[in-house]
Structure 1
Amino acid sequence: MEVVRSVEMLSEPVVMNGVVVKGFGRGSKMLGIPTANLPESSLSQLPHDWRTGIYFGWATVGGKGPYKMVTSVGWNPYFANKTKTVEPHLLNEFKEDFYGAEIHIVMTGYLRPELNFDGLESLIAAIHDDIEVSSKALDQPNHRALRRLAHTSPGGVFGGFLGSSPVAVAVVGVAAAFAVSFVFLKRK
């Protein structure tokens, strides 16, 4: 059976960074999906009207990458968090954790709002679905062209680095030209 899932490319990518901190200890242990959490202070790098939800894009950690990533930005309703978090999951296998390493992320697309789930299995299945859809979306040229932004400094939209350089203009042009929804098919 084919399932249609749409994703939204952000009209302007958002760059964040921070030092990887310990989260709630659920990613690897409970979910089997490790995250490289940004500190709570990194939330100030988001635009003031940023909506919570599940995003995807690119990340570098410890100067290596970029790697595909999917991230939750928000309250994680299933766990009833009292603290808003940014929890990137890098779509790559790593032998060690990243605590204390510098991480840069660039969010290029939006998957869905935060949701509550009936059980842990439903949450895990949704995360795996998000990972699959994100990976396919990031293979598209419009998202792939933005992976270099994972090496930039933070500061909100485009990390505040764009100015008027030719490279910046090209990146803006790519983002603006593809600020539409994409639909991906997958088999279940």
Structure 2
Amino acid sequence: MSFDDAVVLLDAALRSPDHPGEESAMFRAELEGEIARSRRVPGVKMARDALAFADGRSGSPLESRSRIIMWRHGLPRPVLQHVVVDDHGHVIARLDFAWLEEKVYGECDGAVKYDELLAPGQTARQVLMAEKHRDNALADRGWRQVRWMGPDLARPKVLCGRIQQALAGSRRPAA
């Protein structure tokens, strides 16, 4: 198994089934123990490296692969599944990727979000409109967005360039 495939698998395995956006610390500890006991098994170094990189907060294989690409292209490590609340403490959004200092967030979605993952009775249009309201609420709080989909991962330099541009844009002095 490749490093990338191992990270995708481990991210999914570490995802807490009871608490979306959180990692199972108990399962991570079990995996670390198993790897420590297998120190002479071929491939254990890659498994150890993949587990060190893995993060159960990653919400999908697309998010996992995006994170690997960002790392390989030297982008700053984002916070995963960052929750943004309004002035009254109500959740506005859970962001796939957030660079807090720069107030930049990344969202990666597959088409599955607009068809297979719809709640009963929900339409793709309703999902899209809710997404627009959420994006406006985030923009009102100074957040800037970079959005991508699965096919964008085939052009990692372009994707990472867009993210880097958004991150650098937040550091420019106001005109």
Band the TM-score falls in, shorter-chain normalisation: under 0.3
**TM-score normalised per structure 2:** 0.24
Name the structure, 1 or 2, with higher relative contact order (CA <8 Å, separation 6+). Answer: 1
Greater Rg by CA: 2
**Structure with more helix by fraction:** 2
**TM-score normalised per structure 1:** 0.23
**Structure with more strand by fraction:** 1
